[in-house]
Chain A
Amino acid sequence: MTGVSDTPGPLASAHAIAAGVRAGTFRAREVLEEHLARVEALEEDVHAFNLVLADSARMAADAVDADVAAGHDLGPLAGVPVALKDNLCTRGVPTTCSSLILGSWKPPYDATVVQRLASAGAVVVGKTNLDEFAMGSSTENSAFGATRNPHDLTRVPGGSSGGSAAAVAAAFAAVALGSDTGGSIRQPASLCGVVGAKPTYGLVSRYGLIAFASSLDQIGPLARSVRDAALLLDSISGPDPADSTCLQDDPPSASARLEGGVEGLRVGLVRELAGAEGISPDVVACTRDAAEALSGLGAKVDEVSLPAAVYGLSAYYIIAPAEASSNLARYDGVRYGMRAANHGTDAADITEMYLRTRSAGFGAEVKRRIMLGTYALSAGYYDAYYGQAQRVRTLIIRDFEAAYETFDVLLAPTAPGTAFELGAKTADPLTMYLNDVCTIPSNLAGHPAISVPFGVGDDGLPVGVQVLAPALGETVMFQVAAALEAAAPPVALPSILSAGRTG
């Protein structure tokens, strides 16, 4: 999406909002009310949120304004309305993962990223919908109902961070946080026509992110511009003593070279992903257009082969469920969340209580993945499945390392197609899983990738293109993404915004 505005309005950028609030040009409260009015008008149609935090957001915005009035130093996100995926822990505020099993659980602590947003001056407007425990690619697997794509309310927003992507596309928030385990930020960003980035594994603390697959999960930004995505990422990245897997050195800056252009940069178009089975021709065309645009700007573009990348999907659908089967064992009805048959008859024994609670509390997709992962780890199958998948992971990393000897960044499609109709892929899990084929390799390797809108499909809906970079290559990745964004054909506003239903 191009053409961000410098005054508060539906498309005001996070940069512009923070600058205006800091300068006293307008108040954080005004910005917030303007966003809340849009939520009021459109949320019923979109269902981006599990919970809108109007009251606490107003208090936070007023606090920012009071700080401005008092002449205090303000953070880089001063007064910026932010939406949080509802798998990020917020102290005293329900955090559901869009699952029944968490009941009305209120975490007794804030996720590290939530603390960082607060100290950056951000205003949290709500907790966004997701596929239950982030397992899905359409945000239809939510215990609280599906989210709809603001560009076409009959279609999915992608997933699992579909609520965050839709909230940003519908301008319910200037920016949002999502989590990406196999493409869960980038794929919905692509389908909703916004920017979404998965950082290098370990760049952003996972403390307080409710785990799906620990060795793959990363928190990242969704925004309507590359620049805002970079601003948000720079506000949350960096070492955290509460996460052993968080990198301990100063993080690379995502914002450092946004104006750097691509002159002389070497860009590899990933042959296997651009031409993978199931990628629709209009998406392939957009990806090739993007490559050409970069070439036109002075980048050296060539094709590159990542032979093992196509095996990523199989490896991912072993590794992620395996880790998930263990991560989700703790939802057992003992310490927090729901316990089945808590009223009426108590379970006869602890095993019956576990069975009843978990069967009633988890949805079908979560059960499928728990069973798949349990099977892959169980006695006699570990080597054939989990062990082999971990070796595939090594092969994919080796392919990437070889490619980055020749190229600075790589280019690939984000999703195989544009936003699909609600219900179109729910019957067949495997078809749904194929949505992640282009995004998964970066998760398996732990490398960063960003999806940038570039053109539209045959149906007129947004298409995203991915820029992939080596570990800690965020600076060059955002540099190329910014150039791509500037060269992209203009994208129409989401229909619900252009229909003029709000000011």
Chain B
Amino acid sequence: MTVTTTDWETVIGLEVHAELRTETKLFCCCRNSFGEEPNVNVCPVCLGLPGSLPVLNRVAVEYAMRIGTALHCRVQSSIFHRKNYFYPDMPKDYQISQYDIPINAEGWLDLPGGRRVQIERAHMEEDTGKSTHVGGGGRIHEATYSLVDYNRAGVPLVEIVSAPDMRSAEEARAYVDELRSILVATGASDGKMEEGSLRVDANVSVRAKGDGQFGTRCEIKNMNSLRSLGRAIEYEAERQVALITDGGSVAQETRHWDESAGRTGTMRSKEEAYDYRYFPEPDLVPVEPSDEWIASVAASLPRLPAQRRSEIAAASGMGVESESVVTVVRLGLDGYVDAVIASGAGERGTAIAVRRLANEVAAEIGSAAHLTEPAFCRLIAMESDGSLTTAQARTVLRELLDNGGEPDAIAARLGFEAMEAGDLEAVVDQVISAHPDEWSRYVAGEAKLAGFFMNHIKAATEGKADMKAASALLRSRSA
């Protein structure tokens, strides 16, 4: 019997840890910042010194509430627990985290593709310090000793736990992408995966298609990018399917993604699972946000990605699921679209703007800072009214991205004045008379020859012609 992965379904649930963009840590007044000299942002509280006590950061709570609200969660009264385990990057040898009564419960997130992923909870907890492993190529298991920096210890995190609602690596990536956009939009997190602001663990199981039961799952850790998330899930699903089809079974365990080897390996079996001995944190009191506070947080939220997509889709006449619309919102380029709409561009101009943003601007997202909204609006207006051809508009846009500037001036410098209507007519007539055979066939109904004539017109005008106007002329000459 041959069983292929196409007969199987992958079931994925994700746990995403997002660092909050507060000024200070969750329980002390040390600075929350990335990339500093080791052990400079430490105090009695975040070092876990004897006698120190935690005091909760109001802004961290508010950011957590923003995230919960954006994910359609129930924002509720909550308490903190202690999660006990010994580990050198954990100064108190317990983590203060929320357990059975989290601040946000039971929400959902719609993927751009339409699938709804249920959110089980989004709770607050503190981050750990960071270890550097010395010897053995920096890998933990081969190292001779380790060095610990506690700058990150106590940085506020929100852990967002999804239901096992995703069915492919692609969906898992889309989920993280969408979640990241939401986190950035709420202002609660910078969403930088490369700096560890966003960290993802995946629970992966497989089952035969049509099976109502979930299979045994493995938890995969240490995926540092969307790419490794996708690779790890695909590898793990194939591993589990191979195990089962070979007559074996999947053991519930925690697995580690090895990026360079491209595979997952056992980290800890279920038998070795930690016994965290959770109990209510006696050094903190409950967090009970009032209805007014919850309402004011909800009112302060900006428009979120899903809403942005439908607004832009409506204004541009493009579909909500259009790749360009999704990309523009995901990359946070939607502000340019707003500016274009406000400048009076209609549906067509807005659609042009979305395409330029999703293609040229997205490709050089790093230099988007050079591109001012007024310059972009002017560029779109010039392309819309035919003063610039598509090819010219792209050239001007690249110049704007590289060096900034003013579109009219750039177009003039590049010699992109629009052709006079009479000049274009002359060129069109010239091309027709130069190709009499093709022209007779075109007039007789061979429509595909339009492209032939357009190419010649384009070449003859060195790309300066408004191709729509040229096409209209061609049709009127043949009538």
Seen from chain A, the residues whose Cβ lies within 8 Å of a Cβ on chain B are 87-89, 95, 97, 102, 105, 107-109, 111, 206-211, 213-215, 241-245, 322-323, 325-326, 329-330, 332, 334-336, 350-351, 354, 374, 377-379, 382, 386
Other-chain residue from B88, B148, B277 in contact with A326 (beta carbon distance below 8 A): B277
Q: Is the Cβ of A329 less than 8 Å from the Cβ of B93?
A: yes
CA–CA, A111 and B52, complex, Å: 9
A382 touches B279 (CB 8 A): yes
List the 7 closest A-B pairs by CB distance, nearest first.
A329-B93, A377-B277, A214-B282, A215-B282, A210-B50, A208-B51, A89-B51
User: How far, in Å, is A274 (CB) from chain B's closest CB?
Assistant: 31
List the one stretch of B41-49, B113-121, B347-355 in contact with chain A.
B41-49
Q: Tell me which residues across on chain B come within 8 A of A329, comparing CB atoms.
A: 84, 86, 92-94
Known: A107-B51, A244-B54, A326-B82. A378 touches B275 (CB 8 A): yes
C-alpha spacing A336/B92, complex, angstroms: 12
Shortest distance between the CB of B147 and any CB in chain A (Å)? 11
Beta-carbon nearest neighbor of B150 in chain A: A335
Contact of B51 among A211, A334, A350, A354 (CB under 8 A): A211
User: How big is chain B's contact interface, by range?
Assistant: 20 to 34
Taken residue by residue from 59 to 84, chain B's Cβ proximity to chain A (1 for < 8 Å, 0 otherwise) reads as 00000000000000000000000101
On chain A, the residues within 8 Å of B275 by CB distance are: 378-379
**B82 in contact with A335 (CB, 8 Å):** no
Q: Of residues B50, B277, B279, which shows the largest number of chain A Cβ atoms within 10 Å of its Cβ?
A: B50
In contact, B49 and A244 (Cβ under 8 angstroms): no
Quick check: A374 and B51 within 8 Å, CB to CB? no
Contact residues in B for A215 (Cβ distance below 8 Å): 282
- Rounded to whole angstroms, the CA-CA distance of A214 and B283 in the bound complex is 6
Find out whether the CB atom of A209 lies under 8 angstroms from the CB atom of B51: yes
Instruction: Report chain B residues within 8 Å CB of A208.
Output: 51-52
Taking the closest CB of chain A, its distance from the CB of B142, in whole angstroms, is 13
CA distance in complex: A335, B49 (Å): 8
Judge whether A326 and B50 touch: CB under 8 Å: no
**Contact A330 B279, beta carbon cutoff 8 Å:** no
On chain A, the residues within 8 Å of B93 by CB distance are 329-330, 332
Q: How far is the CA of A382 from the CA of B81 in the complex (A)?
A: 14
Nearest A residue to B56 by beta-carbon distance?
Answer: A244
Residues of chain B lying within 8 A (CB to CB) of residue A107? 44, 49-51
A210/B91 in contact, CB under 8 A: no
With a cutoff of 8 Å between Cβ atoms, the chain B residues found around residue A111 in the complex are: 51
| Chain B residues in 8 Å Cβ range of A211 | 50-51, 283
Residue contact B279 to A322, C-beta cutoff 8 Å: yes
CB-nearest residue of chain B relative to A213?
B282
Contact of B84 among A210, A213, A326, A354 (CB under 8 A): A326
- Chain B residue, CB-CB nearest to A379: B275
Q: Residue B163 at the A interface, CB < 8 A? A: no
Point out the residues of chain B lying under 8 angstroms from A244, CB to CB.
Answer: 53-56, 283-285
Shortest Cβ gap from B31 to chain A (Å): 18
**14 A–B contacts, CB within 8 A, in A order:** A87-B51, A95-B51, A107-B49, A208-B51, A208-B52, A242-B53, A244-B53, A244-B56, A244-B283, A326-B82, A329-B93, A335-B49, A350-B88, A377-B277
CA–CA, A334 and B93, complex, Å: 11
Whole-angstrom distance from the CB of B253 to the nearest CB of chain A?
17
Contact call A386/B279, Cβ cutoff below 8 A: yes
Bound: A241/B45 CA distance, A = 13
Q: Which residues of B contact A88 (CB under 8 A)?
A: 51
Q: How far is the CB of A18 from chain B (nearest CB, A)?
A: 27
Given contacts A241-B55, A336-B49, A386-B279, list 5 more A-B pairs with CB under 8 A.
Answer: A107-B51, A208-B51, A214-B282, A332-B86, A334-B88
Q: Contact at B55–A245, with CB atoms within 8 Å?
A: no
Interface residues in B136-175 (C-beta closer than 8 Å to A): 146, 148
How far does the Cβ of B79 sit from chain A's closest Cβ, in whole Å? 12
Could you say which of B93, B148, B277 has the most chain A C-beta atoms within 10 Å of its C-beta?
Answer: B277
Query: Is the Cβ of B48 less than 8 Å from the Cβ of A330?
Result: yes
A377 pairs with B84, CB closer than 8 A: yes
CB-CB under 8 A from A108, the residues of chain B are 44, 49
Q: State whether B277 touches A374 (Cβ < 8 A).
A: yes
Binary flags per residue of B214-256, CB closer than 8 Å to A gives 1, else 0: 0000000000000000000000000000000000000000000
Query: Bound state CA distance, A209 and B49, in angstroms?
Result: 11
A473 to B285, CA, bound (A): 22
Which residues from chain A contact B86 at a C-beta distance below 8 Å?
329, 332, 351, 354
Contact A330 B91 (CB under 8 A): yes
Q: Report how far A322 CA is from B281 CA in the complex, Å.
A: 11
Bound together, the chains give a CA A379 to CA B49 distance in angstroms of: 28
B50: chain A residues within 8 A (beta carbon): 89, 95, 97, 102, 105, 107, 210-211, 330, 336
Interface residues of B in 11-60 (CB under 8 A from A): 44, 47-56
Q: Mark B371-399, 1 if CB is under 8 A from A, else 0.
A: 00000000000000000000000000000
Specify the chain B residue showing the minimal Cβ separation from A217: B282
The residue on B at minimum CB distance from A101 is B50
Contact B44 A378 (CB under 8 A): no
Q: Are A377 and B55 in contact (CB under 8 A)?
A: no
A181 to chain B, nearest CB (A): 12
A176 CB, nearest partner CB in chain B, Å: 18
Given the interface contacts A207-B53, A208-B51, A332-B93, does A326 sit within 8 Å of B279 by beta carbon? yes
Min Cβ gap B186→A in Å is: 26
Contacting residues, chain B, for A97 (C-beta < 8 A): 50
CB B338 to nearest CB in A, in angstroms, measures 43
The CA of A430 and the CA of B328, in the complex, are separated in Å by 70
A339 to chain B, nearest CB (A): 12
A97 → chain B, closest Cβ, in Å? 8
A326–B51 touching, CB < 8 Å:
no
B283: chain A residues within 8 A (beta carbon):
211, 214, 244-245
How long is the Cα–Cα vector from A173 to B275 in the complex, in angstroms? 47
Whether the Cβ atoms of A323 and B282 lie closer than 8 Å is yes
Q: Which residues of A contact B88 (CB under 8 A)?
A: 332, 334, 350
| Interface residue ranges of B244-278 to A (CB < 8 Å) | 275, 277-278
Residues on the B chain within 8 Å of A335, using CB: 47-49, 91
Chain B residues contacting A105 (CB-CB under 8 Å) are 50
A323 and B82 CA atoms in complex are apart in Å by: 10
> Which chain A residue shows the least CB distance to B85?
A329
With a cutoff of 8 Å between Cβ atoms, the chain B residues found around residue A323 in the complex are 279, 282
Given contacts A244-B284, A379-B275, contact A326 B53 (CB under 8 A): no
Query: Which residues of the other chain, A, contact B282 by a CB distance below 8 angstroms?
Result: 213-215, 245, 323
B299 to chain A, nearest CB (A): 28
B128 to chain A, nearest CB (A): 13
Closest residue on chain A to residue B88 by CB atoms? A334
Interface centre among A111, A209, A334 (most CB of B within 10 A): A334
Q: Beta-carbon contacts of B431-457 to A below 8 Å, as 1s and 0s?
A: 000000000000000000000000000
Residues of chain A with a CB closer than 8 A to B56's CB? 244
A314 and B82 CA atoms in complex are apart in Å by: 23
Residues of B within 8 A of A241 (CB): 55
Taking CB atoms, residues of chain A closer than 8 Å to B54 are: 244
Closest chain-B Cβ to A412's Cβ sits at a distance in Å of 26
Contact residues, B275-320 vs A (CB, 8 A):
275, 277-279, 282-285
Interface centre among A87, A89, A105, A326 (most CB of B within 10 A): A326
Chain B positions 82-138 with a Cβ under 8 Å from a chain A Cβ: 82, 84, 86, 88, 91-94
B367 to chain A, nearest CB (A): 45
Chain A residues positioned under 8 Å from B49 (CB to CB): 107-109, 335-336
Kindly identify which residue among B92, B146, B148, B284 contacts A330, using a CB–CB cutoff of 8 Å. B92
A332 surroundings in chain B (CB, below 8 A):
86, 88, 93
Cα-based distance from A329 to B276 in the complex (angstroms): 12
Give, as a whole number of angstroms, the nearest-CB distance from A141 to chain B. Answer: 18
Alpha-carbon distance between A190 and B325 when the two chains are bound, in angstroms: 77
List residues of chain A with CB within 8 A of the CB of B278. Answer: 377, 382
- In Å, the complex CA distance between A147 and B238 comes to 67
Cβ of B84 and Cβ of A243 under 8 Å apart?
Answer: no
Q: Among B51, B55, B86, B148, find the residue whose CB has the most chain A CB atoms closer than 10 A.
A: B51
Residues of B within 8 A of A325 (CB): 84, 277
CA distance A107 to B284 in the complex (A): 23
